[in-house]
Structure formats: C-alpha cells, structure tokens
Amino acid sequence: MSEEAVKVTNFIRNIIDKDLASGKRSSVVTRFPPEPNGYLHIGHAKSICLNFGIGRDYQGQTNLRFDDTNPLKEDIDFVNSIKEDVSWLGFEWAGEIRYSSDNFEALYNYAVELIENGKAFVCSLNAEQMREYRGTLTKPGQNSPDRDRSVADNLQLFKEMREGKHEEGTYSLRAKIDMLSPNIKMRDPIIYRIRFVEHHQTGNAWCIYPMYDFTHCISDALEGITHSLCTLEFEDHRPLYDWVLDNISLECHPQQIEFSRLNLEYTVMSKRKLATLVADKLVDDWNDPRMPTISGLRRRGYTPASIVEFCKRIGITKQENTIEMGALESCIREDLDSSAPRAMAVLEPIKLIIENYPQDQVEQLTAPNHPKDETMGTRQVPFTREIFIDRADFREEANKKYKRLVIDKEVRLRNGYVVKALRCDKDDNGEITTIYCSYDPETLGKKPSDGRSVKGVIHWVSASEGVKAEIRVYDRLFTVPNPAASEDFATVINDQSLVVYANAMVEPSLVTAKAEVAYQFEREGYFCADNKDSSPEHLVFNRTVGLRDSWAKQQ
C-alpha cells in the first residue's frame, strides 16, 4: 500500500486488509458502476474517490462500468459526461470502458441456466397484479399462478420474449426464491422484462432487458471484482446479489459492502429530483453552477483537489448523516486562497472622477498577484483620472464603523493612492451618478506624510481602460437545509441563488482569463470565467464562493 493509504482508514479498508492477510483475496479489484441516466453529482464523487482510491492504494485496479440496462432513461450524453467527470477528478479506469450491455448475451445464458435448474420462471402477471401478489412488510406474498410452469414451457416463452413475439407487459422472467421471505427483494423478483426500446450501445439487437439486481452481480463476477462497494440503500439487495451468484455457474463471488451515501445541506442528491429541477426549468441544465453535479461545480469554479479533499474529510462510515454545506465551501476556500491570483472587479460601478489628476494620463500601477506568495509575481493595472468603484463603497454620510468612502473623508484605492471625496452628482431619482475626489500624489505605496490615518481600502477599475463583464453571483439553490422534505421544490428555491451583474467592470488583465481558472476578486470572493458562455468579446465570470461563510451568520 502507498503511504497515503496508511494514513486513511475506514471499515471497508479494514475488511480488505483482513481479506488480504487471510488469503481470502490475493488482489483488489473495484468498480465504479454509474447508470447513465443523468449527470454525476457530489455524492458520486464520494463513491469515485472510494473505489478509485482503494484500487490505487492497494496496487489493484478500478473499472468504469456503465449500468446501462434501462434504455428508456439513458442517453449517450450522460455517458460522455460521466467519463469526463471521472477523468476531471483525476482518476483513470483500468483498460477499456465497460458496459453492462457488453454482457447481454452472457446474462441471457445465465437466465436460461436458472430456468433449466428450476430457479426462474416466466410470469404473466401484470404490474398491478404483481404488486398485489408481492405482499407488504407485514403481509407475506403469494405465489404467482405461473410459478410451477414447466421448464420446457419457461424456456420456450423466454426464447419467444427475446424474439419479440410478445408485447411489453405481457410477460416477465422472475427468479424463484421465496414469496414468504421477510425481505421483499427476495419475493420472486423480476430479472427480465420486455422493452421495445433502442439501446444507445446495442441498438435494436435486444427487446428484453435484464434488471439491475440480476445484471450487477453477474457483471461484477465476470470482471473479477473482489469488493463491490455500494451505498446503504442496497443493503437489502445483498441477499439477492448473493443468491444469483450462488445459483449460476460462475466461480467468482465478489463481496458486497455498503456504506452511507452523501447527504449535503441545501441541495438534493437524488437523480430523480435533480432531473425534476432540470425538467421544470428551475435551473438551466444539469451543469447549472447551482446544481450539486460535478459538471455544475466545475463550471462554478470548484477544483478537483477541493472535491477530493472534501470526500476525504467526510470519511466512509455506515452512519447516515447530513454534511453542512460550509464543509464543502471550506475546502474550496482553502484551495483557492493559496492558489488563486488576485484581481479587481467592480460589480455595481459608479464613476469616481479625481479632479486633480492629469486629464489624459494613464499610469501603470504595480500590483501583486498574491499578497502572501511573491513567486506568483506582479501585474500592471492602469490608473486614470476617471475610475469606477462599487456603489456600496460610497456614502454621503456614515458613522465611524463605515470604513469606505464618505464625503470629506479619505480611503486608499487598492494598490494605489489615497483619495478624498469632495461631492457627488445625482439623477432625478436621487441616485448618485458621479463622485468627485482629489488624490494625494505622495501616497502611492506609502502612508500620508503628515501622519493622517487612512483605514479604509476599496477596489476600483479604470473607466477608460477597464473591460465590461457579466458577473454571476451564485449562492445556495434552496433556502432550507433539507429541501428534499418539501412537497414542492419551487416554494423553497432561493430567489437570490443567482444574481447577475450585467454591467460589471474588470481590470484589463482578465480579458485573457481562461475558463475554470480561479481568481480572487478583491473583497468580493472567488470567481472563474464561465466554461460555456465566456469569451474575450463577452466576459462572463461565475462566483465560486464568497470570501467567508455568510450563511453561518444567519443561523
């Protein structure tokens, strides 16, 4: 094992250690098996880090296998997005990408084997009748009238199902287990159903498709998986996982181990609920930066390192819990604080004219790219007579707690001079349009010579040299910590989850900003150029996270 593996331990790694020490296993093979029916989210990142991390640390391998047995809900776009997300997080799968559909012929043959051994039968009950016969947690199930159909008839009907001779819903293939079992999953579950749907990998070659519980365990075994890691909702599926493998002629028998899924405040982790957000247009798409999808977090400016670190910190247990959003935000702040160069952007510009500064002069001021890291170098920021400051940074009158610009008071312009507000102009609605100032030319990079105390510092952008940009300030999508408990998502959507500043101004160095490269906009937060909409002709920046947790103050 690597040194990193020694530092990280959990109950799953303890099981693996014992398996290797006892000789039960001689190697470790894991898999990440997403269903391509949506984009991956931060919860999947936990599983990705677990499976690929174990494969790496035990010098084993991790397969990427698509659980593509339900073509009604699957799409090649989802396949491509999943591959991209896994790679972006920094993980490499072993060999070629695998698909459950690669095993369709083998799965069919194992189903035939079960029929031949009297372990499966073709059932004619429809969905409503099936529910009635299944029973409940307190009421035992009843045998299907077709349960004792002969092997020969079952084989013939199953063959006809494959040949497309029967309509959808007329027949299904069920495992013959125990309708009295306290575990409803074991009450003669369906293992094949008829679906006349084109498949994104196999086209129209099949019109019967295997169910997840039948497919997954066999695919694991065919790939030689040693430890099949899944979330706790599959715990009651484990007896069926084992039953299938115990009743077919496959020697490999992986061990299924369950761990708690990731629940995160102020968002939802169900693909079905995320799909609802997209379908109901409560968000723009799966990669909307407010979504907890990996592609949404990436577009918002989260880094692979921050997500991997988050997954490391929350750990792997069997205990269900909900993680505070602040824990995820803390990881990205820590990452970007040390790595993100600084820049200046004004979200709500208001013009400031420095009356005693030369009319046409453009002065290049030197600014550090990072105040704590000299190795990141410096940049030149143009300074002119007319600049923009943020509207929130000026008041005509204010108390002593207000450390920004006030009439007859001084502040320092970031990396620049000390200025003093003299007066302002207003429009017919009383809105301030222009502020007039004077500057002290002896204060560039030093304190006023007469000992005046200037405590406030504000950011700015040259009016003539700055560049217009659209800045999108993203926040939590929901107003409540557990939106999944709400009957209607629309009632708990945060109407401030996206605030667009269409007329923002940024310093000219940001014209060359590349998508997903982070900057700290001084005093505003961490931002990156949008990987979909931004271009040098129309700059669009997304806020990744604020400089501090504003939500903590609201609790």
Q: 119 in a domain, yes or no?
A: yes
Q: 102 in a domain, yes or no?
A: yes
d(CA 543, CA 473): 5
- Please report, for the domain that includes residue 380, its CATH number: 2.40.240.10
Q: How many domains does the chain fold into?
A: 3
Domain stop point among 228, 259, 290: 259
For residue 389, count other CB atoms closer than 10 A to its CB. 25
Buried b (16+ CB within 10 A) or exposed e, 459-496: bbbbbebbbebbbbbbbbbbbebebeeeeebeebbeee
Verify that 381 and 316 share a domain, yes or no.
Answer: no
The amino acid at 432: I
Verify that 173 and 253 share a domain, yes or no.
Answer: yes
Q: What's the farthest any 2 CA atoms get from each other in the chain?
A: 104
Token pair, residue 35, equals: 């269903």
According to the model, what pLDDT value does residue 3 have?
46
Verify that 18 and 139 share a domain, yes or no.
Answer: yes
Q: 264 in a domain, yes or no?
A: no
Tell me the residue range of the domain where 181 lies.
3-259
Dihedral sign (CA 447, 448, 454, 459):
negative
Verify that 335 and 354 share a domain, yes or no.
Answer: no
Q: Give the residues of the chain that fall short of pLDDT 50.
A: 1-6, 555
Verify that 34 and 52 share a domain, yes or no.
Answer: yes
Which residues are annotated as catalytic? 35, 261, 271
- The phi, psi pair for 505, rounded to 5°, reads -125, 140
Domain stop point among 259, 283, 304: 259
Sheet holding 410-413, edge to edge: 457-458, 410-413, 418-426, 432-440, 349-354, 386-390, 461-462
Single out the residue of 95, 83, 81, 30 nearest to residue 316, CA to CA.
30
Verify that 228 and 147 share a domain, yes or no.
Answer: yes
pTM of the model: 0.94
Length of the chain: 555
For residue 3, count other CB atoms closer than 10 A to its CB. 7
d(CA 210, CA 192): 4
According to the model, what pLDDT value does residue 5 have?
44
Q: Where are the beta strands (DSSP E) in 124-187?
A: 172-175
Collapsed DSSP state (helix, strand, coil) of residue 437: strand
- Please report, for the domain that includes residue 143, its CATH number: 3.40.50.620
Verify that 149 and 195 share a domain, yes or no.
Answer: yes
According to the model, what pLDDT value does residue 553 have?
54
d(CA 300, CA 55): 29
Verify that 365 and 324 share a domain, yes or no.
Answer: no
Q: 147 in a domain, yes or no?
A: yes
Token pair, residue 236, equals: 């009651």
Verify that 303 and 218 share a domain, yes or no.
Answer: no
**Residues in Cβ contact with 290 at an 8 Å cutoff, skipping those fewer than 6 apart:** 283, 296, 300, 474, 475, 476, 477, 497, 498
Tell me: the pLDDT tens digits for 7-37? 578 999 999 999 999 999 999 999 999 999 9
**Residues in Cβ contact with 370 at an 8 Å cutoff, skipping those fewer than 6 apart:** 340, 341, 342, 376
Q: 266 in a domain, yes or no?
A: no
Verify that 112 and 225 share a domain, yes or no.
Answer: yes
Verify that 450 and 476 share a domain, yes or no.
Answer: no
Q: Number of helices (H) and strands (E) in the chain: give both, helices first.
A: 14, 29
- As a 3-state breakdown, the chain gives helix, strand, coil percent values, each rounded to 5, of 30, 25, 45
Domain stop point among 197, 225, 259: 259
Collapsed DSSP state (helix, strand, coil) of residue 372: coil
Token pair, residue 91, equals: 């993980």
According to the model, what pLDDT value does residue 1 have?
44
**Residues in Cβ contact with 172 at an 8 Å cutoff, skipping those fewer than 6 apart:** 122, 123, 125, 130, 190, 192, 193, 194
Q: What angle do CA 280, 285, 289 make, to 5 degrees?
A: 120
Verify that 350 and 337 share a domain, yes or no.
Answer: no
Q: 416 in a domain, yes or no?
A: yes
